[in-house]
C-alpha cells in the first residue's frame, strides 16, 4: 500500500492509514509529518520544510529526507538500509 503525494505544495498531511507501507511526500511544503504507521518500510520526504521527523517505530528500510530543515534525526530502526 502506497501513498504518492509528490510535488503538490502540501503544507500538511492527514492521519495516515494503519496499513501504509510506502509514503512518498517529497517536493511539498511540509513542516511536520503525522505519526507513522508501524507497517511503513519506505519514507521519502525530501525537499520539504521539515524541522523534525516523528518516531520511526516501524520496519523502515529506506529513509530519504534531504533538503529539509532537520537538525537531528530520531533513533533509527535496525532495519534501515538506506539513508
Segment 46-73, tens digit of pLDDT: 999 999 999 999 999 999 999 999 999 9
Q: What is the mean pLDDT of residues 30-56?
A: 97
- pTM for the complete prediction? 0.93
**pLDDT score, position 65:** 97
**pLDDT score, position 66:** 96
Tell me which residue of 78, 75, 81 sits closest to 61, measured CA to CA. 81
CB-count exposure of residue 78 (10 Å: 0-12, 13-18, 19+): exposed
Please give the Cα distance from 51 to 69 (Å, whole number): 5
What residues are paired with 3 via a beta bridge?
23
Amino acid at each position: 500500500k502506497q501513498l504518492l503525494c509528490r510535488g503538490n505544495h502540501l503544507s500538511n498531511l492527514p492521519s495516515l492509514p494503519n496499513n501504509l507501507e510506502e509514503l512518498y511526500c517529497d517536493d511539498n511544503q511540509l513542516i511536520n509529518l503525522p505519526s507513522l504507521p508501524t507497517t511503513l518500510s519506505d519514507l521519502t520526504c525530501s525537499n520539504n520544510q521539515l524541522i523534525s521527523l516523528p518516531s520511526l517505530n516501524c520496519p523502515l528500510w529506506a529513509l530519504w529526507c534531504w533538503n529539509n530543515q532537520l537538525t537531528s534525526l530520531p533513533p533509527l530502526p535496525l532495519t534501515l538500509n538506506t539513508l
